[in-house]
Amino acid sequence: MLDHGQAPPRATESRTPVHPLLRRKPVEQLVAEGGQGEGGALKRSLTMWQLTMISIGATLGTGIFVVLGTATPKAGPAVMISFVIAGLTALFSALSYAELAGSVPVSGSSYSYAYATMGEFIAWVCGWCLVLEYGVSVAAVAVGWGDYLNELLDGTIGVTIPEAVSAPLGEGGFINLPALIVVLLSMVFLMRGAKESARINSIMVAVKIVTLLLFIGIGFMGIKAGNYAPLAPLGITGISAGAASLFFSYIGFDAASTAGEEAKNPKRDLPRAIMLSLLIVTLLYVVVAFVAVGAMPWQDFEGTEAALAQIMTDVSGHSFWGVVLAAGAVVAIASVVFAVLYGQTRILFAMSRDGLVPKVFAKVDEKTGAPRANVVIVSLFCGVLASFIPLGKLADATSIGTLFAFGLVNIAVVVLRKTRPDMPRTFKVALFPVTPILGVAACIYMMFSLDAATWMVFGGWMVVGVVVYFQYGIRRSSLATAEK
């Protein structure tokens, strides 16, 4: 680890004459620069438990509280299978993430892994996808937060927020004010630093787990066997489409890898946190989905983004339990916004330190150890998206960016095993190279299960990213500067 003020060593690899698009940042340099920002450094304060909570916080809740209402009409009762397929796809990539997080424990996540293995241009493309993955998913989840907030307000004080200020353009409103509010609240907490943020996140995660266990207990009493037949009314195509949408629900497990420069023992704790969080989340998702589709006909999920609260009320016959569920969901979805927003800021922090985005994103407040300017900029960007863009479009756009980045992580594991076989690894992918190859194949399969409109959005986003790189990043990257 570097002392504050000590310049990171320049690896000779960065001086090797190669095409700018292919220049790689050596692993040793990535690790040596860990935590170093503009005017300060990130603080290593996070334990394995807190890393796991960050990962669960960024993952658990999205698919159940928000996206279940959009995925169930596609898959029918087989949405349970869709969750399993999406979870297996995530598992392949999670194994690769765990190996790389233990070997390259830095904040950039898959962006940094790509920089060390496939070169600067691929790293930029990956980082640009992560901006889509994290930034847009914050907005997507924030949109769903307002639905449960209305359920809570209606059940407690008998009022709801007017549609004009609680729904985005195209869905009956002008601005989604609740979505903007939850993003701004997360921004305020994140500006206090990683340690304080982790404590707040752990409390919110505990609340959401208790809430889902409560739903399972009450919802189980309302299960009707007839609701499971036919299991797959829309066939394998529907199951695949549901899985592709639900993959959005698993994007958070890699959030722990974005905390690599703030973890106390990243080489040991990051792989454990990634795998443990994915196991807990998948188990809860499948059980809750089983209970939900058993307690309510799958056709009734259409257009319902607060489905669990409705089921609690219908099964119990009392609005009280629906209110309790809605209150838990408000906290749960807020924790997803909070944790994913954290991950987005840390990825931009790493990209900024490498010179690929403006230096303001790497500026660290000396007192809190937080990149406060970064947090404000990202929060405002996500808040605007959440205020005006409908949920469905946001969720699918996030899924395709996530799948692309995960595919690159699986490739990065193979490349790093070949180029650096003797590198110490605290975790190794089982059944190598079969597992990462299956991970790539699963990501490609899921990407092609998404509709043409999502691909058009993704293509447009990539075009913009390539233009930004060639107009800004290729000349300003730290490796380019070092070569002059």
Separation of alpha carbons 61 and 208, rounded Å: 7
Q: Which of 10-24, 54-68, 390-404, 454-468 is least confident?
A: 10-24
Residues forming a β-bridge with 40? 37
Separation of alpha carbons 409 and 434, rounded Å: 14
Kindly indicate the confidence band of residue 173, based on its pLDDT and cuts at 50, 70 and 90: confident
Per-residue pLDDT, 396: 67
Average pLDDT of the residues in 2-31: 62
Q: What's the full length of the chain, in residues?
A: 484
Q: How far is CA 397 from the centre of its chain?
A: 13
40 phi/psi in degrees, rounded to 5: 175, -175
| pTM listed for this prediction | 0.83
Kindly indicate the confidence band of residue 15, based on its pLDDT and cuts at 50, 70 and 90: very low
Average pLDDT of the residues in 175-198: 88
Per-residue pLDDT, 257: 86
Q: Is the pLDDT of residue 449 over 90?
A: no
Per-residue pLDDT, 256: 84
**Helix (H, G, I), strand (E, B), or coil: what is residue 317?**
coil
Q: Which stretches of 191-318 are DSSP H helices?
A: 194-219, 235-246, 266-295, 307-316
The pLDDT tens digits for 71-106 are 888 899 999 999 988 888 888 889 999 999 888 888
Q: Is the pLDDT of residue 12 over 60?
A: no
Q: Which two tokens stand for residue 279?
A: 């196991």
Q: Is the pLDDT of residue 41 over 80?
A: no
Average pLDDT of the residues in 193-211: 88
The CA-atom distances, in angstroms, between 430 and each of 91, 177, 435 are: 11, 46, 7
Q: Which of 2-6, 263-267, 382-386 is least confident?
A: 2-6
Separation of alpha carbons 354 and 121, rounded Å: 13
Q: Is the pLDDT of residue 391 over 50?
A: yes
Per-residue pLDDT, 378: 93
Half-sphere exposure of 59 (CA within 13 A, CB side): 32
Q: Is the pLDDT of residue 2 over 80?
A: no
Separation of alpha carbons 134 and 72, rounded Å: 24
Q: Is the pLDDT of residue 223 over 60?
A: yes
Average pLDDT of the residues in 300-315: 80
For the chain, the C-alpha Rg in angstroms (whole number) is 22
Per-residue pLDDT, 99: 92
Q: Which two tokens stand for residue 185?
A: 């609240």
Residue that is written with structure tokens 């007017």 in the block: 162
Torsional sign, CA 454, 459, 462, 464 = negative
Q: How many helices (H) and strands (E) does the chain have?
A: 19, 2
The secondary element (H helix, E strand) that includes residue 40 is strand 40-41
Q: Is the pLDDT of residue 293 over 70?
A: yes
**Contacts with 256 (C-beta within 8 Å, 6 or more apart), sequence order:** 51, 52, 54, 55, 101, 270, 273, 274, 277
Separation of alpha carbons 182 and 335, rounded Å: 10
Kindly indicate the confidence band of residue 435, based on its pLDDT and cuts at 50, 70 and 90: very high
CB atoms within 10 A of CB 283: 11
**Helix (H, G, I), strand (E, B), or coil: what is residue 46?**
strand
Kindly indicate the confidence band of residue 5, based on its pLDDT and cuts at 50, 70 and 90: very low
Q: Which of 183-192, 297-306, 457-466 is least confident?
A: 297-306
Per-residue pLDDT, 68: 80
Instruction: Choose among 341, 399, 451: nearest CA to 63.
Output: 399
Per-residue pLDDT, 360: 93
Per-residue pLDDT, 166: 79
Q: Is the pLDDT of residue 193 over 60?
A: yes
Average pLDDT of the residues in 134-142: 77
Average pLDDT of the residues in 38-67: 82
